[in-house]
Copies of this chain bind each other. A is one copy, B any other.
Amino acid sequence: MYKHSYKKRVRYNETDKMGYLYYGNYANLYEIGRVELIRSLGLSYQKMEDELGIMLPVVSLESRFLHPAYYDEELEIFSYLDEMPSKIIKFRHEIFNEKEELINRATVKLFFTDMNTKKWISAPPIIKAALNEYFPDA
C-alpha cells in the first residue's frame, strides 16, 4: 500500500447556501489528493501529460458523505493506492475534518490513456518503478 496525506482549506466559493462544502466539490479534493500523492513519489502529473503524452480520465467515482464540511475548515485528504496500477489506477480517499472526524470516503478509478490515440494503455514504467518498493509482490 502507498499512502499520502494533504491539507486543504474549504474556501468560500466551494460552499453552498446550506453553508456546507458543496457535494460536487469533493471531486476536486480527490483530484488534489491523487496529484499530490503522485508528486510525493517524485513524479508529476503535469509532466506525465506534457512529456509522456499520457492523460488519466476518470472512469468511475464512488463517494459517501458522512458529515458536512464547513467554510474555512482545514481538511486532511488521505489518498491510498491499495494495488499496483495496471491498466487502471484506483485511488481510495478518506477526508477528515479538524476534529479528526471522518467526513467522506471515496474511490476513484482512472485509465491511463494515450493523448494522441485516445487508447487505454498500461501504467507507464516510471509509475511502476516509483511504486515498486511499496508493492513487493506485484
Q: A12-B16, A12-B35 are in contact. Are A23 and B65 (CB under 8 A)?
A: no
Q: What sequence of 0s and 1s flags, for each residue 57-96 of chain A, a beta carbon within 8 Å of any chain B beta carbon?
A: 1111111110010011000000000000000000000000
Q: Is A17 an interface residue (CB 8 A)?
A: yes
Q: Are A60 and B63 in contact (CB under 8 A)?
A: yes
Q: Are A64 and B60 in contact (CB under 8 A)?
A: yes
Interface of A is mostly: mixed
Q: Are B68 and A59 in contact (CB under 8 A)?
A: no
A:1-54 near B, CB below 8 Å: 11-13, 15-20, 22-28, 31-32, 35, 44-46, 49
Query: Which of chain B's residues has its CB closest to A27's CB?
Result: B24
Q: Are A13 and B17 in contact (CB under 8 A)?
A: no
Q: Is A55 an interface residue (CB 8 A)?
A: yes
Q: How far apart sit A55 and B23, CA to CA, in the bound complex (Å)?
A: 14
A3 CB, nearest partner CB in chain B, Å = 21
Q: Are A12 and B20 in contact (CB under 8 A)?
A: no
Q: Are A28 and B32 in contact (CB under 8 A)?
A: no
Q: How far apart sit A59 and B20, CA to CA, in the bound complex (Å)?
A: 13
Q: Are A24 and B19 in contact (CB under 8 A)?
A: no
